[in-house]
């Protein structure tokens, strides 16, 4: 496993730094969140969560349904404005620098979000195009993605005609079409078989090996084991944070399932 | 700029990949143009008439012959009594009952006045008033003929002066109703179709979830809105071209003015309408909401556009309401440029108002498109 040596230093809470100071020195964290909060009226969906994610790390963001994972992710990627707290993504402030953040992140939503009435190649061209890639770059990217996924025969097939597992791998590849520093994945493997999930995680590891930071939410505890570190959210708060081994030790159990159940039932 | 081109390219691919699109852009407008131009007619024909002739004099018979000769009337029956005539009006068998009372001829010659009664079913006001007016004209001219024949001389020994008012119908000399309707209907058709298509577009991406994917890209709001607007503007222009060609080939509608003015105004007007469509789409959560909201506007726009009823005969407050109505301007410009040959300077008022509408609607569209919740 990669990145094991980094784990120890990351678990230590880090004091909050202003983004301005940040830019002058080499950036150490891909994602920093400090007391990040989102309220809808009286309801607090995300309650003062704080965590850091190092560059190149695979960070698992776990929680029961309705725990506030999607709301939190939306604040980080600039789709939703935080009510309180601070966060910086790739060194950019989530309040003031959303455009720069968007240049540097990829996102794959829970809802499958490629255009089903466009072909594979057309989807890659469109997303590459709106990220401002050159025509030449789009061409090479298209070839790359298609080779990586082994979709040579299906280039001109409509995305709507592909099986779900293929669509999801394609969506992940397209989320990275502009070579972002961080990729956010919101339940990327919902509804697919274990073999396809394994393939999907191989793609995640490859991206992480290239230095891309991965921020992933999931319901599958076996997937949680694949992450360098995970956080578990319960009712809008982060109740546990650490590597899978640390969490298992902390909760005195040998499976992530047990860790999760203990937290959610408590 | 390059990003904008990629959005436009994607929209065009999606539009033309949609199988319903091509028929919608060709067959639908032509069929609607034909049906509406023929059916939505204000021409009054086939007025059903009953004549109660209680006189049976040669003069009365002459009048009946004259009315029979007019092709706008369908002579249904000659009821024997006024009461029978009333019944026919009551049951709706006829629209007008004309009664020629007994001793009509005698009164006419002796007392120099004859009375004729017209009973009109005014439930359909248009049919009734136009029908009665036609009938009046026939009776008047009959009256003049009689007097001329008799060389009736008044007390001063002079023949009474007849005032003849010749009417000339300018711009549409044959009073061809299709000439009047087709350009207006065309304007209305293009506007509605384009407005509906746009209103459904953004909200559809919201339903599918692709809009979220767009919102995490660094794309600018104006690029997104323009990327949606330009393809639909193109479709609108194609529709107008198809429609104008069909109207020319089918009805031979006159094209007195410059087609350039027509197309320029169409582009401007569609920009305004598209802005409104996108605004509605941005505010809607589902396609159903967008559809109903669009319908609300479309129905008001059409009924108050002056297409079917003249704006001049609306109450004052309603006339003000037609100012922000893009269809009203489109119908007016189409009619005056095509039929009257109005120039750009003649219709500059409509251009001015529509520019304001386009700016307002599109500003609303850009502002209402929220990338961040």
Query: Mean per-residue pLDDT for A197-212?
Result: 92
pLDDT in tens, A227-251: 999 999 999 999 999 999 999 999 9
Which residue numbers in chain B have pLDDT < 50? 161-162
Where does the pLDDT of residue A191 fall: very low under 50, low under 70, confident under 90, or very high at 90 and above? confident
* Structure-block tokens of residue A178: 């502009």
Q: What is the pLDDT of residue A25?
A: 42
Q: What is the pLDDT of residue B170?
A: 64
Contact B212 A79 (CB under 8 A): yes
Q: Residue B257: CB partners within 8 Å, gap ≥ 6?
A: B336, B337, B338, B340, B341, B342, B343
Helices (H) and strands (E) in chain B, counts: 14, 4
Rounded to a whole number, what is the distance in Å from the CA of B240 to chain A's nearest CA? 27
- Among candidates B108, B298, B57, which has minimal Cα distance to B194? B298
pLDDT at A222 over 80: yes
> What rounded mean pLDDT belongs to chain A?
86
Q: What is the pLDDT of residue A10?
A: 41
More confident residue, A91 or B44: A91
d(CA A242, CA A12): 9
d(CA A12, CA A86): 19
- Chain B positions touching A80 (Cβ under 8 A) are 372-373
pLDDT at A141 over 90: yes
SS3 B339: helix
DSSP code per residue over B15-66: HHHSTTHHHHHHHHHHHHHHHHHHHS------EEEEEEE----HHHHHHHHH
SS3 A80: coil
d(CA A245, CA A225): 9
Contact A125 B6 (CB under 8 A): yes
- Chain A positions touching B219 (Cβ under 8 A) are 130
Contact A105 B13 (CB under 8 A): no
- Among candidates A110, A116, A117, A136, which has minimal Cα distance to A125? A136
| Best to test chain A binding among B2, B10, B19 (most A CBs inside 10 Å) | B10
pLDDT in tens, B222-265: 899 899 999 999 999 999 998 999 889 988 888 888 999 999 99
Q: Roughly how many angstroms between the first and final C-alpha of chain B, as a whole number?
A: 26
Helices (H) and strands (E) in chain A, counts: 11, 10
Going along chain A from its start, the domains and CATH numbers come out as 29-113+179-265 (3.40.50.300)
Number of neighbouring beta carbons within 10 Å of residue A150: 10
Contact A130 B210 (CB under 8 A): no
Going along chain B from its start, the domains and CATH numbers come out as 2-41+175-368 (no CATH), 47-150 (3.40.1710.10)
Q: What is the pLDDT of residue B288?
A: 93
More confident residue, B153 or A146: A146
Q: What is the pLDDT of residue A21?
A: 42
ipTM: 0.82
- Among candidates A78, A90, A75, A74, which has minimal Cα distance to A36? A75
Contact B3 A132 (CB under 8 A): yes
CA neighbours within 13 Å on the CB side: how many for A261? 7
Where does the pLDDT of residue A13 fall: very low under 50, low under 70, confident under 90, or very high at 90 and above? very low
Where does the pLDDT of residue A24 fall: very low under 50, low under 70, confident under 90, or very high at 90 and above? very low
Q: What is the pLDDT of residue B126?
A: 67
d(CA B164, CA A114): 75
Contact A130 B212 (CB under 8 A): no
Query: Taking CB atoms and an 8 Å cut-off, how many pairs form between chains A and B?
Result: 78
Q: What is the pLDDT of residue B174?
A: 58
**Phi, psi values for residue B44, rounded to 5°:** -105, 115
d(CA A216, CA A195): 19
- Residue with tokens 């929209």, as numbered in its chain: B11
Query: Mean per-residue pLDDT for A190-210?
Result: 90
| Best to test chain A binding among B217, B222, B225, B371 (most A CBs inside 10 Å) | B217
Number of neighbouring beta carbons within 10 Å of residue A148: 12
């Amino acid at each position: 496993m990669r990145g094991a040596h980094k784990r120890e230093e990351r678990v230590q809470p880090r004091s909050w730094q202003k983004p301005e100071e940040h830019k002058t020195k080499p950036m150490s964290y891909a994602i920093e969140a400090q007391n990040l909060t989102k309220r809808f009226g009286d309801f607090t969906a995300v309650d003062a969560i704080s965590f850091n994610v190092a560059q190149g790390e695979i960070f698992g963001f776990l929680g029961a349904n309705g725990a506030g994972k999607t709301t939190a992710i939306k604040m980080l990627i600039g789709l939703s404005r935080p009510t309180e707290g601070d966060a910086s993504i790739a060194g950019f402030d989530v309040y003031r620098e959303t455009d720069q953040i968007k240049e540097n992140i990829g996102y794959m939503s829970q809802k499958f979000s490629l255009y089903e009435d466009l072909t594979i190649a057309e989807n890659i061209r469109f997303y590459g195009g709106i990220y401002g890639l050159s025509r030449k770059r789009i061409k090479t990217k298209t070839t790359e993605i298609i080779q990586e996924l082994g979709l040579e025969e299906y280039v001109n097939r409509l995305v709507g005609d592909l099986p779900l597992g293929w669509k999801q791998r394609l969506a992940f590849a397209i989320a990275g079409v502009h070579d972002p520093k961080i990729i956010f994945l919101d339940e990327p493997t919902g509804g697919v078989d274990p073999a396809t999930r394994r393939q999907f995680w191989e793609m995640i590891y490859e991206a992480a090996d290239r230095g891309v930071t991965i921020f992933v939410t999931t319901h599958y505890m076996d997937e949680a084991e694949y992450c360098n570190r995970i956080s578990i959210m319960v009712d809008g708060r982060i109740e546990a944070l650490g590597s899978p081994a640390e969490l298992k030790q902390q909760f005195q159990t040998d499976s992530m399932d047990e860790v999760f159940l203990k937290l959610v039932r408590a | 700029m390059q990003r904008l081109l990629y959005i436009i390219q994607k929209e065009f691919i999606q539009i033309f990949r949609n199988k319903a699109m091509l028929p919608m852009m060709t067959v639908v407008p032509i069929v609607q143009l034909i049906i509406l131009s023929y059916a939505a007619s204000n021409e009054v024909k086939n007025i059903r008439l009953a004549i109660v002739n209680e006189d049976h004099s040669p003069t009365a018979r002459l009048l009946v012959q004259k009315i029979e000769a007019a092709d706008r009337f369908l002579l249904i029956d000659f009821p024997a009594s006024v009461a029978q005539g009333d019944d026919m009006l009551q049951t709706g068998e006829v629209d007008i009952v004309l009664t020629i009372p007994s001793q009509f001829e005698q009164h006419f010659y002796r007392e120099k006045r004859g009375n004729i009664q017209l009973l009109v079913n005014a439930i359909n006001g248009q049919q009734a008033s136009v029908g009665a007016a036609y009938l009046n004209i026939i009776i008047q001219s009959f009256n003049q003929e009689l007097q001329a024949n008799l060389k009736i001389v008044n007390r001063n020994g002079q023949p009474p002066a007849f005032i003849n008012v010749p009417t000339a119908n300018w711009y549409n000399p044959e009073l061809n109703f299709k000439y009047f309707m087709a350009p207006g209907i065309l304007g209305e058709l293009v506007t509605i179709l384009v407005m509906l298509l746009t209103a459904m577009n953004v909200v559809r991406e919201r339903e599918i979830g692709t809009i979220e994917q767009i919102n995490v890209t660094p794309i600018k709001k104006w690029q997104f809105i323009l990327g949606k607007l330009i393809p639909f503007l193109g479709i609108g222009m194609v529709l107008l071209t198809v429609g104008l060609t069909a109207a020319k080939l089918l009805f031979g509608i006159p094209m007195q003015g410059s087609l350039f003015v027509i197309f320029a105004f169409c582009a401007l007007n569609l920009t305004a309408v598209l802005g409104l469509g996108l605004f509605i789409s941005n505010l809607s959560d589902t396609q159903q909401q967008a559809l109903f909201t669009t319908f609300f506007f479309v129905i008001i726009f059409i009924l108050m556009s002056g297409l079917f009823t003249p704006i001049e005969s609306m109450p004052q407050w309603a006339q003000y309401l037609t100012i922000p109505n893009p269809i009203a301007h489109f119908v007016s410009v189409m009619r005056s440029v095509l039929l009257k040959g109005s120039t750009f300077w003649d219709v500059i008022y409509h251009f001015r108002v529509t520019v304001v509408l386009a700016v307002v609607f599109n500003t609303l569209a850009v502002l209402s498109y929220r990338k961040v919740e």
